[in-house]
Structure formats: structure tokens, C-alpha cells
């Protein structure tokens, strides 16, 4: 697939529903996402209206996940009434541009629960071992 400019080559109707979403690029076992604006009804691999950021879900050598956001354009499209996919909304929530998405709180809570349960299980196992 040849690269298109960040301003995009996708054709769109004036009043069609737009969405800010991820496009999975990269390759097998190495995901890499572009954050794009496109028509909602389209498939992710069709031409986009505009690319507004990137997201690298694999942690780098400093153990960080890198996200780049073109905040000016994101605000523009949100102002135009663009929708957001849930992962994109979560990411924007974490970045501080939007309020935190409820699902982020849910995952956080579930992760904490799982960690607690793990700890409990370990303590129990240790208790059994010492007895």
C-alpha cells in the first residue's frame, strides 16, 4: 500500500457521519495505529479524510507507549460533530483532551481487582506452605 499524505485523499460527503478512529497498520504481531478521521461507514483500510495522530501500543525501551495527537485538528473535527470509536475516545480521555472514558475506569477497577485477587491467592498459598 502506497502512502498517502496526512491531509488524506478520502472523498467524503459534506453531511456524512465522520469518525475519529484507529487504523491498524504495522504488520503481523507488530500493531501500529494511525488515528484518522474518515467517513463512519467506510472500512478502515479505505482512504482517510485526514490523519490526526499515531499510537504505538508496544512499550519502547523506556517502557512508555507513544501517542502523537494533532490536537488542533482533533478539536476541529470534534467541533464539526465527528464521532469517536471507543478506543480512540479512551485514548483522548487519558491524554487529558477529553474527560476520562468510563471504560478506562472499568478496566482500571478490574485490573486492581485482579491484582488484589492474585495477591490474596499468593498469601493463602504461602500460609498453606508455612503450615
Q: Which residues bind other proteins (CB under 8 A)?
A: 53, 59, 62-73, 94-96, 100, 104-105, 107-109, 111-112, 115
Q: How many CB atoms lie within 10 A of CB 22?
A: 20
Distance CA 26, CA 73 (A): 24
What minimum distance in Å lies between the beta carbon of 13 and other proteins? 26
Residue 107 region by backbone torsions, left for phi larger than 0, else alpha for psi between -120 and 50, else beta? alpha
Which of residues 40 and 118 has its CB atom nearest to other proteins in the complex? Answer: 118
Nearest to other proteins of 42, 73 (CB atom):
73
Please name which of 48, 40, 50, 46 lies closest in space to residue 19, comparing C-alpha atoms: 40
Nearer to other proteins, 17 or 114 (CB): 114
Cα–Cα distance between 3 and 71 in angstroms, integer? Answer: 22
Q: How far is the CB of 117 from other proteins (least distance, A)?
A: 13
Q: From the CB of 128, what's the least distance to other proteins, in Å?
A: 27
Instruction: Provide, rounded to whole angstroms, the least separation between the CB of residue 88 and other proteins.
Output: 13
Q: Cell numbers 479505505 correspond to what residue?
A: 46
Q: Which is nearer to other proteins, 39 or 101 (CB)?
A: 101
CA distances from 63 to 86, 93, 95, 119, 127 (A): 24, 20, 17, 24, 34
Amino acid at each position: 500500500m502506497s502512502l498517502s499524505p496526512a491531509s488524506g485523499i478520502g472523498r467524503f460527503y459534506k453531511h456524512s457521519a465522520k469518525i475519529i478512529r484507529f487504523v491498524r497498520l504495522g504488520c503481523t504481531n507488530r500493531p501500529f495505529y494511525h488515528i484518522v478521521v474518515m467517513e463512519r461507514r467506510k472500512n478502515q483500510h479505505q482512504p482517510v479524510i485526514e490523519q490526526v495522530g499515531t499510537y504505538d501500543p508496544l512499550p519502547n525501551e523506556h517502557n512508555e507507549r507513544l501517542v502523537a495527537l494533532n490536537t488542533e485538528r482533533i478539536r476541529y473535527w470534534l467541533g464539526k460533530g465527528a464521532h469517536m470509536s471507543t478506543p480512540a475516545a479512551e485514548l483522548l480521555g487519558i491524554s487529558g483532551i477529553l474527560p476520562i472514558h468510563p471504560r478506562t475506569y472499568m478496566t482500571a477497577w478490574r485490573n486492581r481487582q485482579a491484582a488484589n485477587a492474585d495477591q490474596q491467592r499468593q498469601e493463602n498459598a504461602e500460609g498453606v506452605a508455612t503450615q
